[in-house]
Amino acid sequence: MARLVIVSNRVAPPSERQQKAGGLAVALKEALKGDVLWFGWSGQIAKETSTTPTITEGKRLTVATIDLGEQDYKHFYVGFSNSTLWPLFHFRLGLLDFLREDYQGYLKTNEDFAAALAPLLRPDDVIWIHDYHLIPLAAALRRHNQMQRMGFYLHIPFAPTAIMDALPCAEEIVSSLCDYDVVGFQTEADKRNFMACAVQYAGAELTSDHTLSAGKRSVRAVAIPVGIDADAFAKAAEASSGSKEAKRMQESLVGRKLIVGVDRLDYSKGLTNRFEAYSRLFDRFPQHRLKVSYLQVAARSREDVIRYQNLKRDLDRLCGKVNGKFAEFDWVPLRYMTRSLPRSLLAGFYRSAHVGLVTPLRDGMNLVAKEYIAAQNEEDPGVLILSKFAGAAESMDQAIIINPYDPDQIAEAIHQALTMPLGERQARNKALQTIVREQSAGAWCRNSLMELRAC
Ligand code: ADP
Ligand code: F6P
């Protein structure tokens, strides 16, 4: 079978998977089982971007990475990727910063990626490019005479035309997506948004429900939801529930129910609304005071982006406010940690938590929702509270679905979850377990690669 070439901004080979919080590395695990070249950024910043990759050859997996130059890190990663495209695709125009020099840096870095990758490619490779950092990469590779099949997968939401309108270079960005043979999205809604944008900005014509004709090219758009390896995660959760950390956690709870939230510290995750909702829980339902503890693990992320610095400041303050208002001398209602923890440890915490809180204002999929379900003990499962704006909500409708903009509704949902009868918890959990197993990481990889290999 043809070699698979995976390209993503972050490269996280299996041994380093614990280092950075984020969904992409988790989802790609299955794809790494065959003959694979994985190319991307080393995570290191140098004076200039190098176009000579550092190559580490393994038995089946070869990893090739390049360092980013200071200016490219600033304009490509901090700037256009995470200060323009990220807020745009998460429907947050109020947080969008656009600078022409950032866009130029984004294009230049994509050219550098192409220049470094092209010499490593073989004519029969299948190339699978990931996420918003690398939208123009297919076009850049084609300029290096690379005519292989190329697929793109967007791990985050795709914006509708009314939002895309705010992007000064919308035509170029959307047209670049039409340089791929297959473009994959998390949900049907994202796919529809892309198709509408392709018509409006790239002059594409719809030739069927999932194909477009753009210039001389035909592009296939597919919705294939990302998942996790639920059985492996369930095993990790079970194993971790016997660990010394799990024991410490139980001792610290002294019989109180645990609510858990695990996210990157990102404004798309709805953390400020979540803290506000938790505070309302005690105003509206005082019977829960002293009876619950909420652990929020918020891994610091993109710390050079100003909006993330502002969010951290807001959350630090809000956490102090909640605890200052409700704490007792022997009870801290909100435990807030701004670092990442090993996934195995998180798995154990999910399993012991009565409530999993996943309340993004907008999210491509949200793998934490799936991990929380996979970790549950089917005899006495916890309850998932899930935002209707997470891609996961398209199929996980047996969670308690909330609107994250309504803190009262979140507080009511927490109360409902904390008091839900066992039979209802079991029934919801059973339905959700089925979904999480059907929409697995393996199925996502197989279906995506089948689409790509068939074109
Ligand atoms: P995103 O890709 O936007 O970060 P997802 O929920 O899809 O969001 O994926 C996040 C992944 O990163 C999950 O596998 C989750 O377990 C992991 N993760 C999130 N927050 C943390 C954290 N604080 N510590 C360790 N891992 C985390
Ligand atoms: O899809 C979301 C995403 O950009 C992933 O590509 C990545 O795993 C995660 O967020 C973390 O982001 P960063 O690479 O900026 O640390």
The CATH number for 429's domain is 3.40.50.2000
Contact 66, 49 (CB under 8 A): yes
Give the helix, strand, coil percentages of the chain, each rounded to 5.
Answer: 50, 20, 30
Pull the structure tokens for residue 193: 């948004």
User: Atom of ligand 2 at shortest distance to CA of 155?
Assistant: 1
User: Atom of ligand 2 at shortest distance to CA of 77?
Assistant: 15
CA 132 to centroid of ligand 2, rounded, Å:
10
Mutate to test the pocket of ligand 2, among 11, 29, 155, 264 (most ligand atoms within 8 A of CB): 155
CA 165 to centroid of ligand 1, rounded, Å:
30
Residue 350 in this model has a pLDDT that exceeds 90:
yes
What number is the average pLDDT over the span 39-66? 94
Q: Are residues 92 and 205 in the same domain?
A: yes
Closest among 135, 132, 77, 130 to 102, alpha carbons compared: 77
Residue 47 in this model has a pLDDT that exceeds 70:
yes
Ligand 2 cavity residues, CB under 6 Å: 10, 20, 22-24, 131, 155-156, 301-302, 364
Strand 292-299 versus strand 257-264 pairing type: parallel
301: amino acid identity, one letter: S
387 lines ligand 1 (CB under 6 A): no
Q: Are residues 189 and 238 in the same domain?
A: no
Contact 137, 129 (CB under 8 A): yes
CA nearest ligand 2 atom 7, residue: 22
Q: Are residues 178 and 269 in the same domain?
A: no
Pull the structure tokens for residue 231: 């059985």
Kind and range of the H or E run holding 62 = strand 61-69
Task: Tell me the β-bridge partners of 443.
Answer: none
Q: Is 36 left (phi over 0), alpha (psi -120 to 50) or beta?
A: beta
What number is the average pLDDT over the span 236-254? 93
More confidently predicted of 455 and 118? 118
CA 369 to centroid of ligand 1, rounded, Å:
10
The terminus-to-terminus CA distance of the chain in angstroms comes to 15
Q: Are residues 379 and 310 in the same domain?
A: yes
d(C-alpha 131, C-alpha 113), whole Å: 14
Q: What is the ipTM of this complex?
A: 0.97
d(C-alpha 382, C-alpha 380), whole Å: 7
pTM: 0.96
Helices (H) and strands (E) in the chain, counts: 17, 16
User: Atom of ligand 1 at shortest distance to CA of 155?
Assistant: 2
How many structural domains is the chain composed of? 2
Q: Are residues 187 and 250 in the same domain?
A: no
Task: Tell me the β-bridge partners of 363.
Answer: 390
427: amino acid identity, one letter: A
201 HSE (CA, 13 A, CB side): 26
Q: Are residues 209 and 242 in the same domain?
A: no
Q: Are residues 79 and 201 in the same domain?
A: yes
Closest among 227, 226, 238 to 375, alpha carbons compared: 238
239: amino acid identity, one letter: A
pLDDT tens digits, 120-149? 999 999 999 999 999 999 999 999 999 999
Residue 61 in this model has a pLDDT that exceeds 70:
yes
Q: Are residues 117 and 250 in the same domain?
A: no
Q: Identify the domain containing residue 134 by its residue range.
A: 4-227+441-454
Q: Are residues 297 and 181 in the same domain?
A: no
Taking the CA of 23 as reference, the closest ligand is 1
Q: Are residues 176 and 80 in the same domain?
A: yes
Max distance between CA atoms of the chain, in angstroms, equals 70
CA 419 to centroid of ligand 2, rounded, Å:
35
User: Atom of ligand 2 at shortest distance to CA of 264?
Assistant: 11
Kind and range of the H or E run holding 413 = helix 407-418
Q: Are residues 35 and 143 in the same domain?
A: yes
pLDDT tens digits, 256-304? 999 999 999 999 999 999 999 999 999 999 999 999 999 999 999 999 9
Q: Is 155 considered catalytic here?
A: yes
Q: Is 415 considered catalytic here?
A: no
Range name among 19-33, 215-229, 254-268, 392-406 with the lowest pLDDT average: 19-33
- Find the catalytic residue in 90, 133, 155, 354: 155
Contact 116, 11 (CB under 8 A): no
Q: Are residues 177 and 91 in the same domain?
A: yes
Round the average pLDDT of the chain to a whole number and report it: 95
299 lines ligand 1 (CB under 6 A): yes
